[in-house]
């Protein structure tokens, strides 16, 4: 588990069991986005880390040992202290039903691997910039789109 | 990674099971339909019969007694019909069929019995002997037809026809001795009895012929269904494969591409160590990609049988040395410094192909390192044995065919494998549930390829493990000995 260096920049928590990818996402957010980054290698560690560092945004992988990405999102959404934090899923699962599952679990965005570091940073910035109302509206629109493409 | 339960590639479809299932469902549907029909028909026959007999013989006490008797029999039949419907609903086809045939048989016997009762009660009373005889003859035909369409195989139909023959003969002979019309009928006994029996056998013959053609059609339908099921399985497997590969490729592609891009974007602000770290991570991701693609291509070639090889003696020590050099250095780091205990005679060789033997060693050692804790030893041994093949000859004379093989043993002292999960180990893209829930990397191809390579070279692979942590696992690979080494002096025996 990696904690951010104390600074004024927003902290992003990155949770991924793949060490290389964890390093890539963390370095991208640090170097390109100027964020402070905390890291965890599984859902349980991510949950613990969240309440220790109180990040402004969470980037989470889906398939992880123990508590997986969806379970982590549901746990965060279920707690009033963390329910409003933007959560971005970064996954290699490409099917519409996977995306729908992620959004239904409570994610604000579902990003597909591979994604460029710049796009990732941009997605995190956008998530942080949204107000709660915008977040809810966008989530509803995303869910509708995904549900439609899943049905078709 | 594919869950074990989704792996359909090894599940054979049993043609026999499909035919049986078809046949079972057909009989079940038929019994389910016929049972209520026969119940209603029998009620009608009894009610109408009672009404007619009372109308024809008003006030005769014997008629009342006969009707009571037939009503009791009807109750017995109704009980079986209801029971039969219940069996049919629960899918017990044989019991449902029995519950249809049993009251049907009873129905055939009831008229002569009723007649017998009536005759003994009032020997001189007039009786509907022609109606009774006619109904019995018809009922025997129906019984034969029912047996033919509701049972499987020839014996029940032949048995039912013979029984009906005997019953018919007994009843006709009995009726001929009845005073009045019976005596008149007996004059025509010679054409009457054989004619009825021939009709019964004609019906049985038609049913036997129909059943033969029906079975043929059933087999053809079954073949179509099997082909369809196999095509569906293939489609499902293909989808799983594409989904799996898609998922497995995306992570290393992102790691490789992302690190290179990050390096390009932030090069000026990076220290030398950071640049090296980015490049190393990108290279590792590239190596993972190469390993995955190579594994998939190896598997594909093996499945297509396209990779023919010219067998040659492969010295095991050399293959092992090459394999240890090929091992992923990260795995060695993860596992810490390992004590590799090798017990292989320098001259020992197998009959196969160098790259495949080396790959088997690489995959087994890689697994041993991954699934055992740092500091524990890994043992590799090999020796020549005689393998007894399953084959002809009684066990007490032990004349089973034998062949000389080299047994390669790779042992670790790690987590071991739960015995119940051992059958899953060698299936492609399948990882144990424990590994899926851990951060141990793997693509589920290594052991599948070991098995495919070993079998391709005329050998085999198996694993022994108690599943107890610390006792680890023992992989035993059998490969043929080179032709020149056959019949050497010191051979271990193996069952």
First-to-last C-alpha distance (Å) of chain B = 36
Of B265, B285, B438, the CB nearest to A32: B265
Check if the beta carbon of residue B357 is closer than 8 Å to that of residue B466. no
Instruction: Yes or no: say if A40 and A114 are a contact pair by the CB < 8 Å rule.
Output: no
> Residue B325 contacts by C-beta under 8 Å, 6 or more apart in sequence?
none
Residue B297 confidence class, pLDDT cut points 50, 70, 90: confident
Instruction: Output B334 or A26, whichever has higher pLDDT.
Output: A26
Q: For residues B427 and B7, what is the distance between their CA atoms, to the nearest angstrom?
A: 8
Contacts of A117 in chain B (CB under 8 A): 258, 261-262, 265
Q: Give me the residue spans of the domains in chain A.
A: 11-151
Task: Say if residue A114 is preceded by a cis peptide, omega within 30 of 0.
Answer: yes
Q: How confident is the model over B402-424, as pLDDT tens digits?
A: 788 999 999 999 888 888 888 87
Q: Is the pLDDT of residue B376 over 90?
A: no
Res. B300 pLDDT band, cuts 50 70 90:
confident
Can you state the angle between helices B93-121 and B129-150, rounded to 10 degrees? 170
More confident residue, B391 or A13: A13
Per-residue pLDDT of chain A (152 residues; tens, 9 = 90+): 666 655 678 999 999 988 888 999 999 999 999 999 999 988 899 999 999 999 999 999 988 877 889 999 999 999 988 888 999 999 988 888 888 888 888 898 999 999 999 999 999 999 998 877 777 777 777 777 777 766 66
Enumerate the residues of chain B whose CB falls inside 8 A of the CB of residue A42. 439
Looking at residue B192, its pLDDT comes to: 76
Judged by CB atoms within 8 Å, which residues 119-138 of A form the interface with B? Answer: none
> Which 8-state DSSP code applies to residue A2?
B
Please answer yes or no on whether A94 and B246 come within 8 Å at the CB atom.
yes
pLDDT at A7: 61
Per-residue pLDDT, averaged over B27-46, amounts to: 87
| Integer Cα distance of B416 and B468 in angstroms | 6
pTM, full prediction: 0.53
Whole-number average pLDDT of chain B: 79
Average pLDDT over residues B474-493: 70
Cα Rg for chain B, rounded, in angstroms? 39
pLDDT computed for residue B180 by the predictor: 65
Domain A11-151 CATH superfamily: Response regulator (3.40.50.2300)
Three-state SS at A38: strand
Per-residue pLDDT at B442: 64
Q: Across residues B181-187, what is the average pLDDT?
A: 69
CB-nearest to A24 from B246, B255, B270 is B255
Q: Which whole number is the average pLDDT over B147-164?
A: 89
The number of helix segments (H) and strand segments (E) in chain A equals 6, 5
Distance CA B156, CA B316 (A): 64
Q: Which of B228 and B298 is assigned the larger pLDDT?
A: B228
Residue A140: per-residue pLDDT? 76
Q: How far is CA A76 from CA A46, A79, A109, B288, in A?
A: 10, 5, 15, 33
Domain boundaries along the sequence of chain B: 1-308, 312-494
Confidence of residue B400 (pLDDT cuts 50, 70, 90): low
Spatial distance between the Cα atoms of A125 and B249, rounded to a whole number of angstroms: 27
Euclidean distance between the first and final Cα of chain A, in Å? 41
**Segment B473-490 mean pLDDT:** 75
Question: Worst-scoring range by mean pLDDT, B73-87, B159-173, B181-195?
Answer: B181-195
φ and ψ at residue B402, rounded to 5 degrees: -130, 155
If you search the block for the tokens 């191809």, which residue do you land on?
B445
Question: Would the pLDDT of B495 be above 70?
Answer: no
**pLDDT score of B9:** 41
Query: With an 8 Å Cβ cutoff, is A32 touching chain B?
Result: yes
Measured between CB atoms, does A39 come within 8 Å of chain B?
Answer: no
Q: How far apart are CA B284 and CA B309, in angstroms?
A: 31
Nearest chain B Cα to A66, which residue? B437
CATH topology of domain B312-494: Heat Shock Protein 90 (3.30.565)
pLDDT(B2) > 60: no
The string of DSSP codes covering B405-434 is EEEEEEEE-SS---GGGGGGTTSTTB--HH
- What CA dihedral angle connects A111, A115, A119 and A124, to 10 degrees? 40
ipTM of the complex: 0.83
The pair phi, psi for residue B11, each rounded to 5°, is -85, 110
Query: Is residue B299 less than 8 Å (CB to CB) from chain A?
Result: no
Per-residue 3-state assignment (H helix, E strand, C coil) for B217-280: HHHHHHHHHHHHHHHHHHHHHHHHHHHHHHHHHHHHHHHHHHHHHHHHHHHHHCCHHHHHHHHH
Which residue of A21, A65, A95 is in closest CB contact with B255?
Answer: A21
Residue B354 pLDDT greater than 70, yes or no: yes
Higher-confidence residue of B188 and B494: namely B188
B492 confidence band (pLDDT: 50, 70, 90): very low
For the four alpha carbons of B241, B246, B247 and B252, in that order, the dihedral sign comes to: positive
Least confident of A94-108, B3-17, B127-141, B208-222: B3-17
* pLDDT on residue A39: 94
């Amino acid at each position: 588990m990696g904690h951010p260096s104390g600074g004024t920049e927003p902290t992003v928590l990155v949770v991924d069991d793949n060490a290389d990818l964890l390093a890539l996402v963390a370095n991208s957010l640090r170097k390109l986005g100027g964020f402070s980054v905390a890291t965890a290698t599984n859902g349980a560690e991510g949950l613990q880390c969240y309440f220790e560092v109180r990040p402004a945004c969470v980037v989470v992988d889906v398939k992880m040992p123990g508590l997986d990405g969806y379970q982590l999102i549901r746990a965060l959404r279920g707690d009033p202290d963390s329910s409003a934090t933007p959560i971005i899923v970064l996954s290699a699962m490409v099917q519409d039903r996977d995306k729908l599952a992620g959004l239904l679990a409570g994610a604000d965005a579902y990003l597909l691997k591979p994604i460029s570091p710049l796009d990732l940073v941009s997605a995190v910035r956008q998530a942080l910039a949204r107000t709660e109302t915008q977040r809810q509206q966008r989530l509803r629109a995303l869910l509708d789109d995904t549900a439609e493409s899943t049905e078709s | 990674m594919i869950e074990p339960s989704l792996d359909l590639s090894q599940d054979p479809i049993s043609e026999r099971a499909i035919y049986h299932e078809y046949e079972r469902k057909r009989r079940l549907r038929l019994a389910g339909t016929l049972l209520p029909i026969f119940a209603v028909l029998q009620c009608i026959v009894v009610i109408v019969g009672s009404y007619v007999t009372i109308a024809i013989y008003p006030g005769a006490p014997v008629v009342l007694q006969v009707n009571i008797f037939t009503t009791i029999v009807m109750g017995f039949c109704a009980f079986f019909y209801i029971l039969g419907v219940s069996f049919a609903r629960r899918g017990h086809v044989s019991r449902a069929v029995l519950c249809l045939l049993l009251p049907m048989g009873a129905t055939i016997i009831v008229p002569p019995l009723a007649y017998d009762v009536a005759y003994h009660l009032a020997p001189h009373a007039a009786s509907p002997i022609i109606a009774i005889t006619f109904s019995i003859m018809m009922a025997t035909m129906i019984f034969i037809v029912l047996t033919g369409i509701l049972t499987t195989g020839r014996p029940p139909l032949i048995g039912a026809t013979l029984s009906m023959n005997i019953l018919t003969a007994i009843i006709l002979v009995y009726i001929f001795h009845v005073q009045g019309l019976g005596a008149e009928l007996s004059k025509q006994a010679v054409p009457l009895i054989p004619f009825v029996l021939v009709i019964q056998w004609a019906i049985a013959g038609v049913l036997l012929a129909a059943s033969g053609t029906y079975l043929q059609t059933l087999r053809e339908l079954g073949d179509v269904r099997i082909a369809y099921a196999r095509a569906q399985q293939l489609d499902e497997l293909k989808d799983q494969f594409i989904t799996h590969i898609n998922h497995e490729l995306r992570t290393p592609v992102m790691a490789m591409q992302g690190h290179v891009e990050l390096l390009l974007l932030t090069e000026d602000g990076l220290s030398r160590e950071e640049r090296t770290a980015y490049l190393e991570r990108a290279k590792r991701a590239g190596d993972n990609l190469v390993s995955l693609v190579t594994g998939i291509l190896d598997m594909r070639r093996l499945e297509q049988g396209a990779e023919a090889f010219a067998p040659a003696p492969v010295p095991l020590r050399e293959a092992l040395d090459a394999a240890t050099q090929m091992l992923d250095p990260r795995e060695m780091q993860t596992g810490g410094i390992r004590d590799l205990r090798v017990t292989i005679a320098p001259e020992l060789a197998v009959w196969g192909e160098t790259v495949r033997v080396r790959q088997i060693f690489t995959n087994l050692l890689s697994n041993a390192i991954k699934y055992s804790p740092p500091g524990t030893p890994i043992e590799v041994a090999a020796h020549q044995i005689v393998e007894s093949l399953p084959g002809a000859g009684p066990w007490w004379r032990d004349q089973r065919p034998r062949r000389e093989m080299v047994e390669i043993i790779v042992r670790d002292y790690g987590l071991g494998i739960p015995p119940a999960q051992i059958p899953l180990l060698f299936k492609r893209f399948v990882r144990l549930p424990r590994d899926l829930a851990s951060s141990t990397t793997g693509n589920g191809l290594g052991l599948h390829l070991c098995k495919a390579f070993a079998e391709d070279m005329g050998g085999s692979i198996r694993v022994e493990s108690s599943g107890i942590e610390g006792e680890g696992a023992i992989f035993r690979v059998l490969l043929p000995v080179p032709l020149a080494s056959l019949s050497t002096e010191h051979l271990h025996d193996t069952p």
